[in-house]
Structure 1
Amino acid sequence: MQQKILLVYTGGTIGMVKDSATGALKAFDFDHLLVQIPQLKSVQAQIDTVSVPEPKDSADMNPSDWQFLGNLIYSKFMQYDGFVVLHGTDTMSYTASALSFMFSNLRKPIIFTGSQLPVGDIRTDALENVLTAIQIALLQENGVPSVSEVGVYFDSQLFRGNRSTKVSSDRFKAFMSPNFPALVTSGVSLKINEPMLLKPNLNRVTKFSEALNDKVLLVKIHPGITTKMFEQLCASVDFEVLIMETYGSGTIFNANWLALLLKELQKKGKNIINCSQCVSGVVKQGIYQGSEQLKSLGIISAKDMTTEAAITKAMYLLGQNKQRNDFKIEFEANLRGEMH
């Protein structure tokens, strides 16, 4: 039986073509994708295409878009062997991370990709990214998908979606996975990093939960941040989870006012997460004096998670109505391969 892949267009640079008269980029009719990428005709599989009703620049994507996309894929889950999502690069890692949590026991691949140059550009990276993402989605062994997780494919490498982060706005190698190796590397052949892949329970079905709660506040700690800044920010925003991007291995300045403020937030039932600003490495509270106060307060550790994964995981767990103690336990647990 011929394999079937659903190609989903959400927006972004990949779906633009240059107007011959003005030189400006504009969206093309996604129904005519085969005209733009004729190589798709040679793929040994049935490739169906669908576009979301209102494609967006990825900077405009928000949790409601993640919910729509997740529901779209889940509604067609039994009809296809895999899914390839064309997405703008700026928030691709956020969307991929969110879907990785929303789908549990995922038994088919959901591969995100995009491009730095439009599909019609003579130097575009879109063709390789799309075609290889489809090939990865088609990989099977004994009728079972080789990759059964949410991934981000870009510039010859497939990364776990919730381990990926965008690191460049102008290089083709736009993404990296700082704390976890690539799942698949593309060269003359596709090399699968088999030991690193998530393995679903084949005796259980894939489930999807669209429940998200976006009351998550991210604060980047920096030299010069003051009591007034922190207090006014926390007082003016309706949030249930505070993620602090701290230095290095999770360190922060020593200040009595900060400890008092964090204690007050905890009394109000707020969950507080310590996530490192560093691209790679792990939060280890208590190693330095600067993080001992956080450890003593029972601040939640994001360990080696990306900021994108920490934010979307927090939204997912809030959406499941986790109580404060359960939230801490589950956040610090490895749910979808997002942390060690």
Structure 2
Amino acid sequence: MLPILIIYTGGTIGMQPSASGYQTSSGMSQLIANAFNSSALEQLKPFEVLEFPRLIDSSNAQPHDWLAIAQCIDDNYRQYAGFIVLHGTDTMAYTAAALHHILGESIKPVIVTGSQIPMCKARSDGPGNIQDAILFARSGKVNQVCLSFAGTLIAGACAKKVDTSALAAFTSYNSRPLAVADITLNFTEQHRPLNQSRPENRQSSFKLSPLQPQSVAVLLLYPGISKVSIDAALLDEKIKAVVMLSYGAGNPPDQNSDLIEALEAAVERDVVVINMTQCYRGKVAQGTYAVGSVLNKLGIISALDRTLEDLVTDLYINLDSYR
């Protein structure tokens, strides 16, 4: 049986107290060894722990960190049955979405997890989250990038952090969980069965090319938005793609001439503009209301029910495919 590789990148799960607050710390292998009794540990094996040399608080995570994680998976792809990425919760949803787009249709599980309470503290949710991630990875029913937290397995491109302090900190607003860890692991009908005909020793086909974060902007619409804010996102020559967060079912203020003129100018110079709703649930239905019909006329792309994390990371990685 091939082992699972646990890739420790930093985050709350491995933090230790300091004079200035909790900070990232090495020693994940020992934390895991201390967290489980010998019987439980044997049931989770075989696994190995790889610590990144530069551990980060995930608030400092950057696109090059996603590539480093993906490169680590690529380098070790043939030696392991699956991969668990231990990560801070603040940008965990961005990392899960980015890995989804970078790694593509992997036949091996890649599960991102972490904790709200450090493993050095009593009541830490870290051991349970690690245990669930290992069991999900070993189930034979996961062949994509996922986020596992508080007993719930979520597709990597659909996850969102929704609570700063609750242990169930992540959800997927517009799709059911892939699985829930109760007494047994209960998978929904949405999981994709493994294609056993694909060879275990196949070469990976991951997209490890440079990302384009400098080319992507996010424009949040709000009543009274200034021309300066609009132009900064839509008229900057360096910007090649904009995610616009509009109201309700995808409605812009169509009487705001500064916005409409800037959208027209952006589209004219081939900027990719994607219209996303500010609502947590539901999807963009562009043109349902008259105020939204102008976006259809301009050729603005509907985000449907996609998350901001999914859209931003996809544009960083796959911008050229939108043209």
- Match for residue 229 of structure 1? 229
Paired AA for residue 16 in structure 1? M
SS in 2 for 1:218: strand
- Match for residue 306 of structure 1? 307
Deviation at 1:23, TM superposition (A): 9.4
- Match for residue 9 of structure 1? 8
Distance 1:278 1:135 in 2: 34
Paired AA for residue 179 in structure 1? N
Distance 1:232 1:244 in 2: 13
What does 1:2-151 align with in structure 2 at a 5 Å threshold?
2-18=1-17, 24-26=21-23, 27-39=25-37, 41-140=41-140, 146-151=141-146
- Match for residue 268 of structure 2? 267
**Which piece of structure 1 moves more, 212-221 or 39-48?**
39-48
CA contact (8 A) 1:93 1:165 kept: yes
Paired AA for residue 79 in structure 2? Q
What does 1:277-292 align with in structure 2 at a 5 Å threshold?
277-292=278-293
Distance 2:3 2:289 in 1: 53
Paired AA for residue 213 in structure 1? Q
Distance 1:222 1:276 in 2: 12
- Match for residue 180 of structure 1? 175
Deviation at 1:24, TM superposition (A): 4.4
Consecutive unaligned residues in structure 2, runs of 5 or more: none
CA contact (8 A) 1:18 1:121 kept: no
Does residue 240 of structure 1 match 2:240? yes
Distance 1:16 1:77 in 2: 28
Counterpart selection for 2:163 from 153, 165, 168: 168
Distance 1:9 1:133 in 2: 13
Deviation at 1:275, TM superposition (A): 0.9
Distance 1:44 1:128 in 2: 12
Distance 1:136 1:221 in 2: 39
CA contact (8 A) 1:16 1:119 kept: yes
CA contact (8 A) 2:235 2:265 kept: no
Paired AA for residue 46 in structure 1? P
The alpha-carbon distance between structure 1 residues 44 and 262, as it changes in their structure 2 partners (threshold 3 A), is closer
CA contact (8 A) 1:36 1:120 kept: no
Does residue 196 of structure 1 match 2:190? yes
SS in 2 for 1:170: coil
Residues 54-102 of structure 1 deviation map (CA, whole Å, 9 limit, x = unaligned): 0111111111000010010011011111111100001111111011111
Deviation at 1:260, TM superposition (A): 1.6
Residues 256-291 of structure 1 deviation map (CA, whole Å, 9 limit, x = unaligned): 332221111112221111011111110110001221
CA contact (8 A) 2:111 2:147 kept: yes
The alpha-carbon distance between structure 1 residues 216 and 156, as it changes in their structure 2 partners (threshold 3 A), is same
Deviation at 1:114, TM superposition (A): 0.7
CA contact (8 A) 1:106 1:200 kept: no
The alpha-carbon distance between structure 1 residues 227 and 17, as it changes in their structure 2 partners (threshold 3 A), is closer
Normalised by the length of structure 1, the TM-score is 0.87
Residues 222-280 of structure 1 deviation map (CA, whole Å, 9 limit, x = unaligned): 11102233124544572110110111111111123322211111122211110111111
Equivalent residues, number: 313
Consecutive unaligned residues in structure 1, runs of 5 or more: 141-145, 329-340
Residues 153-173 of structure 1 deviation map (CA, whole Å, 9 limit, x = unaligned): 111110001011000001111
Distance 1:125 1:186 in 2: 14
Paired AA for residue 147 in structure 1? V
CA contact (8 A) 2:234 2:263 kept: no
The alpha-carbon distance between structure 1 residues 301 and 153, as it changes in their structure 2 partners (threshold 3 A), is same
- Structure 1 vs Structure 2 CA RMSD: 1.9
The alpha-carbon distance between structure 1 residues 233 and 306, as it changes in their structure 2 partners (threshold 3 A), is closer
Does residue 315 of structure 1 match 2:312? no
Paired AA for residue 198 in structure 1? R
**Which piece of structure 1 moves more, 180-189 or 225-234?**
225-234
Deviation at 1:41, TM superposition (A): 2.4
SS in 1 for 2:55: coil
The alpha-carbon distance between structure 1 residues 232 and 317, as it changes in their structure 2 partners (threshold 3 A), is closer
Normalised by the length of structure 2, the TM-score is 0.91
The alpha-carbon distance between structure 1 residues 200 and 226, as it changes in their structure 2 partners (threshold 3 A), is farther
Distance 1:51 1:15 in 2: 11
Identity, % of aligned pairs?
Answer: 31
Distance 1:74 1:297 in 2: 40
SS in 2 for 1:130: helix
